[in-house]
C-alpha cells in the first residue's frame, strides 16, 4: 500500500517567549521545515504564569504545570498544533487530552557550575553563597558541602547569569543544556558529574506535545523521536511519578544506556540534605518504565516515604 498520508498545509508551534524556549521552538521548527518543505511552520510565542511570577520560589507556586498550561490552552483552542517543552518542565502525568508525540535526542544532561571566580565547586571557601532555586540541587549541595550557603535564584537563564555578574553569588548552578543551546557554554566553569549532582528527570531532552485526538500529527513528529533518549526519560519519569515528583520534592533521576543496558539512578532527600536515599537499577532499555517503578519502590523501602511525608507537612 502506498503512503497516502500528506503533510498539512500549516503547523503552528506554541512556545514560551524566553530565549531558551524560543531556541527550542526554532530548533523543532527548522527540523520540521526540513522534513516537510511543503508545510508552513510558524511559532506562536506566549507568556505563561511561571514566567510572570518571578519573585517566589518555584517550589511554592505549584511547580511544573505553570509553564505549560497556557500552551496547552492554545492546543485546545486550535491556535497551535504542537507545543515544545523542556522535558524537565513536563509534569509526570500528562493532563487528560494531551500526549507526548516525540522526545528528542538529549543534549548534555549535567548541571553546570558557573562562577566568575572559581572553576570548581571544591574550590569555594566555606560560607560561599551559591544560587539555585532547585530543591534537587540544593539538597545535594547541602549534603556534600554543608558549609556553603544556598540562596534562591530564579528567572530565565540570562537573568540568572546577570544576578551572578552583579556579585550576589559566588557561583550559581544551571542546566548545561540551556547554556549550550544559548551559545553560553563559555560561561560554564565546570560540568558537575551526576555522582555529585544527579540531574533532574528529563533534563536536556525536549518533548513535543499535541492533543490526544491528533494521531496524524503525532505520526509526523516520529522522525524527531529519539528512542534511546525516550527509554531513559520514560524510566526517570516512571520513578518520579511513583514518588509523586514535582518541583516541591528534592528528587533526582537519571538514566543512561551503555552496551544496550539501561542504568537508572535516583535519589530523594530533605531540602537540607541531612536525610537522603540513593539507589540504582539496571535492565533492558525497553523495560525502562518498570525499572523506574521498581527503583521508586526500592527508594520507598529505604526511607523515601518518611522523607516525602515530612516535606508535605512543611509545605502546609
Ligand atoms: N528549570 C528551568 C529549565 N527548564 C529547562 C532548562 C534547561 C535545560 C533542559 O532542557 O533541561 C531550565 C534551566 C535550568 O534549569 O538551568
Cα 147 to ligand 1 centre (Å): 26
Supply the pTM of this predicted model. Answer: 0.92
Cα 88 to ligand 1 centre (Å): 7
> Which residues are known catalytic residues?
89
Q: How far apart are CA 182 and CA 248, in angstroms?
A: 27
39 Cα distance to chain centroid: 29
pLDDT at 53 over 70: no
Cα 85 to ligand 1 centre (Å): 10
Q: Ligand 1 pocket by C-beta < 6 Å: which residues?
A: 86, 88-89, 174-175, 177-178, 203-204
Q: How far apart are CA 73 and CA 80, in angstroms?
A: 9
Cα 109 to ligand 1 centre (Å): 10
- Residue limits of CATH 3.30.160.40 in the chain: 237-314
Q: How far apart are CA 11 and CA 87, in angstroms?
A: 21
How much is the pLDDT for 190? Answer: 98
- Residue limits of CATH 3.40.190.10 in the chain: 10-105+205-225, 111-192
Residue-wise pLDDT for 93-133, tens only, equals 999 999 999 999 999 999 999 999 999 999 999 999 999 98
Which of 59, 178, 194, 201 to probe ligand 1 with, by most ligand atoms within 8 A of CB? 178
Q: What cell was used for 143? A: 549534603
Residue-wise pLDDT for 171-209, tens only, equals 999 999 999 999 999 999 999 999 999 999 999 999 999
Q: How far is CA 127 from CA 149, 153, 193, 271, in A?
A: 6, 17, 23, 18
pLDDT at 56 over 80: no
pLDDT at 31 over 70: yes
Ligand 1 atom at minimal distance to the Cα of residue 174 = 16
Q: How far apart are CA 10 and CA 292, in angstroms?
A: 38
How do the residues of the chain divide into helix, strand and coil, expressed in percent and rounded to 5? 40, 25, 35
Ligand 1 atom at minimal distance to the Cα of residue 156 = 13
pLDDT at 3 over 70: no
Q: What value of ipTM does the predicted structure carry?
A: 0.91
Ligand 1 atom at minimal distance to the Cα of residue 200 = 11
Residue-wise pLDDT for 207-260, tens only, equals 999 999 999 999 999 999 999 999 999 999 999 999 986 657 899 999 999 999
Q: How far apart are CA 20 and CA 63, in angstroms?
A: 18
Residue 312 confidence class, pLDDT cut points 50, 70, 90: low
Write down the CATH superfamily of domain 237-314. Answer: Porphobilinogen deaminase, C-terminal domain (3.30.160.40)
Between residues 156 and 176, the one the model is more confident about: 176
Which CATH fold topology does 10-105+205-225 show? D-Maltodextrin-Binding Protein; domain 2 (3.40.190)
The closest of 220, 229, 208 to 105, measured between CA atoms, is 229
Q: How far apart are CA 90 and CA 207, in angstroms?
A: 8
How much is the pLDDT for 293? Answer: 98
Q: How far apart are CA 117 and CA 47, in angstroms?
A: 34
Which CATH fold topology does 111-192 show? D-Maltodextrin-Binding Protein; domain 2 (3.40.190)
Amino acid at each position: 500500500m502506498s503512503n497516502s498520508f500528506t503533510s498539512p498545509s500549516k503547523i503552528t508551534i506554541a512556545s514560551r517567549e524566553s530565549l531558551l524556549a524560543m531556541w527550542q521552538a526554532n530548533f523543532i521548527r527548522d527540523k520540521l521545515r526540513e522534513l516537510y518543505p511543503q508545510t508552513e511552520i510558524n511559532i506562536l510565542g506566549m507568556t505563561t504564569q511561571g514566567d510572570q511570577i518571578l519573585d517566589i520560589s518555584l517550589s511554592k507556586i505549584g511547580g511544573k504545570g505553570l509553564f505549560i498550561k497556557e500552551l496547552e490552552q492554545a492546543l485546545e483552542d486550535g491556535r497551535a498544533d504542537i507545543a515544545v517543552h523542556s522535558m524537565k518542565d513536563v509534569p509526570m502525568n500528562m493532563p487528560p487530552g494531551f500526549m507526548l508525540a516525540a522526545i528528542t535526542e538529549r543534549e548534555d544532561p549535567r548541571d553546570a557550575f558557573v562562577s566568575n571566580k572559581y572553576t570548581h565547586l571544591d574550590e569555594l571557601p566555606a560560607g560561599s553563597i551559591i544560587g539555585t532555586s532547585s530543591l534537587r540541587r540544593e539538597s545535594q549541595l547541602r549534603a556534600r558541602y554543608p558549609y556553603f550557603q544556598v540562596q534562591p535564584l530564579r528567572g530565565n537563564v540570562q537573568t540568572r547569569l546577570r544576578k551572578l555578574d552583579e556579585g550576589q553569588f559566588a557561583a550559581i548552578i544551571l542546566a548545561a543544556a540551556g547554556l549550550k543551546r544559548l551559545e553560553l557554554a563559555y560561561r560554564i566553569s565546570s560540568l558537575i558529574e551526576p555522582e555529585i549532582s544527579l540531574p533532574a528527570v528529563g533534563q536536556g531532552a525536549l518533548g513535543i506535545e499535541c492533543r490526544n485526538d491528533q494521531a496524524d500529527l503525532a505520526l509526523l513528529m516520529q522522525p524527531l523521536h529519539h528512542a534511546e533518549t525516550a527509554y531513559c526519560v520514560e524510566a526517570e519519569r516512571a520513578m518520579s511519578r511513583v514518588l509523586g515528583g514535582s518541583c516541591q520534592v528534592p528528587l533526582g533521576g537519571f538514566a543512561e544506556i551503555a552496551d544496550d543496558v539501561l542504568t537508572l539512578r535516583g535519589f530523594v532527600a530533605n531540602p537540607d540534605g541531612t536525610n537522603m536515599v540513593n539507589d540504582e537499577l539496571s535492565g533492558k532499555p525497553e523495560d525502562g518504565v518498570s525499572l523506574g517503578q521498581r527503583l521508586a519502590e526500592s527508594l520507598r523501602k529505604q526511607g523515601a516515604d518518611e522523607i516525602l511525608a515530612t516535606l508535605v507537612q512543611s509545605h502546609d
